[in-house]
Amino acid sequence: MDTIQHVSQRELRGRTKSARIANYLEELILTKVLQEGELLPSQSELAEKFDASSRSIREAFKHLEAKGLLSISQGRRASVKCNNLDQFVESLTSSIIRSGSSDTKLLLDLVQVRTSVEVSAAREFSRNPKRKEVVKDLSDIVSKMMRTLEGVSIKDSKAIELYRQHESAFHKVLIRSNGNIILDAIYENLAPMLDEVLVFSASKGEEFEKKVREYQYIVEALDNGQTDLAVALVLVNLTDVKKKIESHAEATQRKVSFA
């Protein structure tokens, strides 16, 4: 099969060899380079193509099988089970929702998802060939957020709603700067729930102003190529959201306990 060429590990993304191989094959499947029902090369052939051990190939296969992307049976070559991106994402997001044992846990899990993706985007931003365009988009959004602050300070509901929309747009642009079609598709499906998380980012006038400054600092760090600073600012921004969700949950629990 010529579809899968010899690939150096340095060209792949992921913490382990098996993760890098799984990510590479996953993208081939979801972009329909590998068609549904198509047989993959043998494990030994793939091990040679990826400069990896057969164990790494087996682990990658198990990962893709768990996602419903590969069909694996004893004594036969693995085959593509599904290459429908929408179906894959719908199944994945349903699984994420089901895994939440409580509303609070689900919100915290969503913060973790957003944090992981946005930190990755910030860390890789300097390699983005369209980084100047992305910085301009982010800067424009921050300017729009600033223009809502006067209305937000007097608790104007329309201004607050507009602020939330711009804040959501900021995160969406940052996440999409990853240039990963799979993450984009997952984000689109999770967006309504991810935006629920942002409700906790600010509730008072001074908090809204503080958040706008944080977003401005993130844009400036990205524009100046200060990767470590941009990553740190993203972490601070979303860690603050996480703490507020936890505080809200504790306060709610106390009210229930005293009721």
The first and second tokens of residue 61, run together, are 């296969």
CB atoms within 10 A of CB 165: 15
Query: Residues 53-77: pLDDT tens digits?
Result: 989 999 989 888 877 788 888 778 8
pLDDT for 1 equals: 45
Q: Is 72 exposed, middle or buried (0-12, 13-18, 19+ CB in 10 A)?
A: middle
Query: Residues 142-159: pLDDT tens digits?
Result: 999 999 999 999 999 999
User: Measuring CA to CA, which residue among 207, 206, 208, 232 is closest to residue 218?
Assistant: 232
Question: Same domain for 179 and 121?
Answer: yes
Percent of the chain with pLDDT over 70: 81
Q: Which residue has the higher pLDDT, 30 or 91?
A: 30
Q: Quote the CA–CA distance of 41 and 45 in Å, as a whole number.
A: 6
**Residue carrying the six token digits 């400069």:** 51
Question: Same domain for 54 and 152?
Answer: no
**CA angle (240, 242, 243) in 5-degree steps:** 65
Q: Which residue has the higher pLDDT, 176 or 88?
A: 176
Q: What is the mean pLDDT of residues 13-22?
A: 76
Strands (E), 102-257: none
Q: Tell me, what DSSP letter sits at residue 4?
A: S
Residue 120, domain CATH: 1.20.120.530
Q: Quote the CA–CA distance of 166 and 141 in Å, as a whole number.
A: 6
Q: Using CA atoms of 174, 178, 184, 187 in order, give the dihedral in degrees to the nearest 10.
A: -50
Q: Which helix (H) or strand (E) holds 25?
A: helix 17-30
Q: How far is CA 227 from CA 67, 119, 163, 223, 224, in A?
A: 32, 10, 26, 9, 8
pLDDT for 118 equals: 87
Question: Same domain for 34 and 91?
Answer: no
Query: Residues 18-49: pLDDT tens digits?
Result: 888 888 888 888 778 888 888 888 888 888 88
Q: How many domains does the chain have?
A: 2
Which residues, at least 6 apart from 118, have a Cβ–Cβ distance to it below 8 Å?
171, 174, 175, 234, 238
> pLDDT-based confidence at 135, cuts 50/70/90?
very high
pLDDT beyond 60 at 133: yes
> pLDDT-based confidence at 215, cuts 50/70/90?
very high
Question: Same domain for 220 and 144?
Answer: yes
Domain boundary among 83, 117, 134: 83
Question: Same domain for 123 and 140?
Answer: yes
Residue 37, domain CATH: 1.10.10.10
Half-sphere exposure of 125 (CA within 13 A, CB side): 31
Q: Please tell me whether residue 177 adopts helix, strand or coil conformation.
A: coil
Question: Same domain for 30 and 107?
Answer: no
Question: Same domain for 75 and 96?
Answer: no
Question: Same domain for 107 and 40?
Answer: no
Mean pLDDT of the chain: 82
Question: Same domain for 190 and 94?
Answer: yes
Query: Residues 183-192: pLDDT tens digits?
Result: 777 777 677 7
Distance of alpha carbon 251 from its chain centroid, rounded?
A: 29
Q: Quote the CA–CA distance of 174 and 135 in Å, as a whole number.
A: 9
Q: In this structure, are residues 182 and 27 in contact, taking their beta carbons and an 8 Å threshold?
A: yes
Q: Quote the CA–CA distance of 248 and 205 in Å, as a whole number.
A: 18
In a domain, 2, yes or no: no
Question: Same domain for 53 and 131?
Answer: no
Mean pLDDT comparison of 155-159, 196-200, 244-248, highest-scoring range: 155-159
Helix then strand then coil, % of the chain, to nearest 5: 75, 0, 25
Q: Which helix (H) or strand (E) holds 19?
A: helix 17-30
**Containing domain of residue 180, as a range?**
87-258
> pLDDT-based confidence at 178, cuts 50/70/90?
confident
